[in-house]
């Protein structure tokens, strides 16, 4: 699994001296969207049952209502290929998908305060189905990516045997590998090749 970042970590104190590419909540939402896509990117299904979905939801700090049903799981799994397609699209294609996600999820941006968190943006009600809330949160974050012309930060892992997606949030746009250790594996392989050479 990728590194756990809490979705509502968005509302903690901003890191001093760290220049974000997007707003913190947007960056967390993008990471969560990539992590969701990647649960379906490997040979083994990483959301095989309701328990694995519970763990994913807890790990990313999703709040709001849950059904804990097979139908809820199926809806979340069905969202993955819709999101995944955005990585293959140009701006016009990505806009079509994002606008459809916003429309289907009946997105209505509202500032809210809940639990220990100060005002932040929700665009769905806490009672909306989990998959709809996930879809709209991802779409809202992608709105920022597209309108700032940063869609090329959406990448697929450079390792030959890995189909994970990633969002390069580095300042110098240098990120090429996913968070499953593909970068380390590539470094080791390059080191061995140098020694052999
Ligand atoms: Zn919230
Ligand atoms: Zn990878």
pLDDT of residue 2: 36
- Using CA atoms, how far apart are residues 48 and 44, in angstroms rounded to an integer? 9
Distance 183 CA to ligand 2 centre (A): 7
pLDDT of residue 152: 95
Reading the chain (197 residues) residue by residue, the pLDDT tens digits are 333 334 554 444 444 555 688 888 889 899 999 999 999 998 899 999 999 999 999 999 888 999 999 999 999 999 999 999 999 999 999 999 999 999 999 999 999 888 887 888 899 999 999 999 999 999 999 999 999 999 999 999 999 999 999 999 998 999 999 988 999 888 888 888 888 87
Interaxial angle between packed helices 50-59 and 70-84, expressed in degrees from 0 to 180 and rounded to the nearest 10: 60
Distance 32 CA to ligand 1 centre (A): 14
Distance 191 CA to ligand 1 centre (A): 45
Distance 113 CA to ligand 1 centre (A): 7
pLDDT of residue 10: 43
pLDDT of residue 11: 46
Distance 115 CA to ligand 1 centre (A): 8
Distance 122 CA to ligand 1 centre (A): 6
pLDDT of residue 17: 53
- Among the bound ligands, name the one nearest to the CA of residue 118: 1
pLDDT of residue 70: 98
Distance 160 CA to ligand 2 centre (A): 8
- Among the bound ligands, name the one nearest to the CA of residue 186: 2
pLDDT of residue 121: 83
Distance 132 CA to ligand 1 centre (A): 15
pLDDT of residue 18: 59
Distance 37 CA to ligand 2 centre (A): 13
Place of tokens 């949030």: 169
- Among the bound ligands, name the one nearest to the CA of residue 29: 1
- Where would I find the H helices in the chain? 24-38, 50-59, 70-84, 91-104, 130-147, 182-196
Distance 8 CA to ligand 1 centre (A): 6
- Among the bound ligands, name the one nearest to the CA of residue 184: 2
Sign of CA dihedral 132, 146, 29, 85: positive
DSSP-derived secondary structure letter, 39: T
pLDDT of residue 9: 46
Distance 168 CA to ligand 1 centre (A): 24
């Amino acid at each position: 699994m990728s590194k756990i970042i809490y979705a509502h970590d968005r509302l903690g104190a901003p890191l001093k001296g760290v220049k974000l590419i997007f707003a913190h909540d947007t960056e967390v939402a993008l990471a969560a969207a990539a992590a969701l896509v990647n649960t379906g990117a490997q040979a083994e299904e990483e959301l095989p049952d309701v328990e694995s979905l519970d763990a994913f939801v807890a790990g990313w700090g999703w709040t709001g209502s849950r059904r804990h049903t097979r139908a809820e799981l199926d809806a979340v799994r069905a969202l993955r290929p819709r999101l995944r397609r955005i990585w293959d699209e140009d701006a016009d294609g990505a806009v079509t998908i994002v606008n459809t996600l916003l429309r289907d999820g009946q997105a209505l941006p509202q500032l809210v305060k809940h639990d220990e968190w100060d005002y932040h943006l929700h665009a769905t009600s806490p009672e909306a189905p989990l998959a709809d809330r996930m879809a709209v949160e991802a779409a809202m974050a992608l709105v920022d990516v597209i309108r700032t012309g940063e869609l090329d930060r959406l990448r697929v892992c450079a390792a030959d045997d890995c189909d994970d997606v990633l969002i390069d949030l580095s300042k110098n746009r240098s990120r090429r590998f996913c968070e499953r250790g593909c970068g380390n594996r590539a470094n080791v392989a390059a080191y061995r090749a140098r020694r052999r050479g």
